[in-house]
Amino acid sequence: MPLFSLEGRVAMVTGCNKGLGQAMAVALAEAGADIIGANRRHADETRQRVEALGRRYIHLEAELGKDRPATIIEKAIAEGGQLDILVNNAGMIRRAPALEFSEDDWDSVIDVNLKATFFLTQHAARHMIERGTGGKIIHVASMLSFQGGIRVPSYTASKSGILGLTRLMANEWAAQGVNVNAIAPGYMATDNTQALRDDPQRSAEILSRIPAGRWGNPDDLAGAVVFLASPASDYVHGHTLAVDGGWLAR
- Write down the domain spans for the chain: 10-242
Rounded-to-integer distance, Cα 173 and Cα 168, Å: 9
Whether the pLDDT of residue 211 is over 80: the answer is yes
Domain 10-242 is of which CATH architecture? Answer: 3-Layer(aba) Sandwich (3.40)
**pLDDT classification of 195: cutoffs 50, 70, 90:** confident
Span 115-123, average pLDDT: 98
Which of 57, 155, 187, 235 is flagged as catalytic? Answer: 155
For the chain, what is the mean pLDDT?
97
For residue 109, the surrounding DSSP H or E stretch is helix 103-110
- Confirm whether 155 is a catalytic residue: yes
Measured from the Cβ of residue 45, the count of other Cβ atoms closer than 10 Å reads 12
Burial label for 56, CB within 10 Å (0-12, 13-18, 19+), is middle
Q: What pLDDT is recorded for position 243?
A: 98
Span 141-167, average pLDDT: 97
**pLDDT classification of 192: cutoffs 50, 70, 90:** confident
How many CA atoms does the CB half-sphere of 98 hold within 13 Å? 8
Q: What pLDDT is recorded for position 193?
A: 87
- Closest to 105 (Cα-Cα) out of 88, 119, 93: 93
**DSSP SS3 for 235:** coil
